[in-house]
Amino acid sequence: MKSEVNEIKISYCDKLGTFDSASLCDSTHVAKLLYETWNKDTIGLQETFKVLLLNNSNRVKGTYQVSTGGITGTLVDLRILFAVILKTLSTAVILVHNHPSGTLKPSRSDTDLTEKIKNAAVLFDIKVLDHLILVPNGKYFSFSDQGIL
């Protein structure tokens, strides 16, 4: 009897050229980049969580939408988040989600999730540089700028 097993393939395609992208230097630059690429039709409707994937020079490899939720929250599965981070061989990440309500203050679940992701990242030697909360008018809150990261 012949044994068979599924083959797993992992791929990442650098279509836009990571080395041509700008190196991110502060939260203002990151927030502007993310707000410009966020779907303006949904930023005020439902909460979405994304990760900005970076190389060792803090150059953008890409973004990945981890989850889309409801009006007041979204669930983030850490296994999916880290599968994407590891698959892209990213060495640093910036977390981002939106608050459709326009509230810039992070909730307790926001800070708990950030801490959970940060602790898991340590195991893989991945840096969590920031976690931004975007609101529909383009303003943002940075965990790093506020010293909570």
The 10s digit of each residue's pLDDT in 67-120 is 888 888 888 999 999 999 999 999 999 999 999 999 999 999 999 999 999 999
Question: Of 4-8, 70-74, 134-138, which range is least confident?
Answer: 4-8
Confidence of residue 20 (pLDDT cuts 50, 70, 90): low
The 10s digit of each residue's pLDDT in 27-69 is 999 999 899 889 888 888 899 999 999 999 999 988 999 988 8
DSSP 123: H
**Tell me, what's the pLDDT at 8?**
65
Confidence of residue 126 (pLDDT cuts 50, 70, 90): very high
Q: Is the pLDDT of residue 17 over 60?
A: no
Residues in the chain, total: 149
Q: Which two tokens stand for residue 116?
A: 């959970």
* Rounded distance between C-alpha atoms, residue 76 and residue 35, angstroms: 20
**Tell me, what's the pLDDT at 31?**
92
Secondary structure (DSSP) of 44-99: TTS-EEEEEEE-TT-BEEEEEEEEE--SS-----HHHHHHHHHHTT-SEEEEEEE-
Q: Where are the domains of the chain?
A: 23-142
**Tell me, what's the pLDDT at 42?**
86
CATH number of the 23-142 domain: 3.40.140.10
Confidence of residue 122 (pLDDT cuts 50, 70, 90): very high
**Tell me, what's the pLDDT at 9?**
64
